[in-house]
Amino acid sequence: MNNYILSIAAVFVGALIVFIFKPSNQKNLKLLLAFSGAFLLAITIFDLLPEVFEDNLFAKRTGVWIMIGILLQKVLEYFSKGAEHGHIHLDKDTNRISSLLFISLGIHAVLEGFPIHHTDGILLGIIIHKIPIAMIMTTFLLNTKIKKSIILITLLVFALMTPLGTFMSEYFDDAQLYYKEITALVIGIFLHVSTTILFESNEGHKFNVTKLLVILVATATAYII
């Protein structure tokens, strides 16, 4: 039950930070996003990859599923415009949420919930990833003409997507039967999202020491956990 509550709470923690504190320092938010990306990447490499390849007689097929996950995320980002890694582009004059944006984010969120019950550390990785994404999402939604009631409903539905994936992985027979394939798909998604966060060009292609330190701390933390 804690897995469900914590993954839901992560979205609302991010949203509440925006509602209460109205943070305006984009540099700090980018560093938080970098930490989340590094942590998610490290958890994927340290925990998820060894799990799907352990005692695996079909390693190449698993690799194919990972590639499918990478390509799937690429397709999802075509519709979400990169919201999964902090790039949300909404017209400030809009009064409705793009259905394609919401569906693509929903698919991503459902899939990332699958490994939570089976893999140590992945819940924490998803929580750390969701908080800055929820902050960015809330900030952009509040800057549009969308009603606050609609924004709250949107955030609630978005918060329930990851627990839905966790529920399916635990109680649906087909999801359990193809758990390794689905997890390999999720690995591909995580690899794409986390590396995009970490390695997209800095402004002016400058070397950022602070960002590097944040990445190293996140990686070490994921290893220790």
> pLDDT (tens digit, 9 = 90+) per residue, 105-156?
889 999 999 988 777 678 888 898 889 888 888 888 888 888 889 989 999 9
What pLDDT, on a 0 to 100 scale, did the predictor assign at position 56? 85
- Per the structure, the count of domains in the chain is 1
How far apart (Å, rounded) are the C-alpha atoms in residues 25 and 167? 36
Average pLDDT over residues 59-67: 95
Amino acid letter, 80: S
With a threshold of 0.95, does the pTM exceed it? no
Does residue 169 contact residue 114 with C-beta atoms inside 8 Å? yes
Average pLDDT over residues 20-39: 83
Neighbour tally for 99: CB within 10 Å: 9
Greatest alpha-carbon span in the chain: 54
Length of the chain measured in residues: 225
Residue 170 forms part of a structural domain = yes
How far apart (Å, rounded) are the C-alpha atoms in residues 217 and 151? 34
- Give residue 108's domain range: 2-12+27-224
Assign 206 a pLDDT band (cuts: 50, 70, 90): low
Residue 18 forms part of a structural domain = no
Residue 22 forms part of a structural domain = no
Residue 153 forms part of a structural domain = yes
- The yes-or-no verdict on residue 14 having pLDDT over 70 is yes
Residue 19 forms part of a structural domain = no
- The yes-or-no verdict on residue 203 having pLDDT over 60 is no
What pLDDT, on a 0 to 100 scale, did the predictor assign at position 8? 92
Per-residue pLDDT of 68-102, as tens digits, reads 999 999 999 888 777 766 666 666 777 787 788 88
Question: Which 3 state secondary structure label does DSSP give 114?
Answer: coil
Residue 156 forms part of a structural domain = yes
Residue with tokens 């089976």, as numbered in its chain: 118
Residue with tokens 């919201």, as numbered in its chain: 83
Does residue 174 contact residue 57 with C-beta atoms inside 8 Å? no
Residue 141 forms part of a structural domain = yes
Per-residue pLDDT of 162-196, as tens digits, reads 999 999 988 898 888 898 899 999 999 999 999 98
Return the structure tokens found at 120.
């140590």
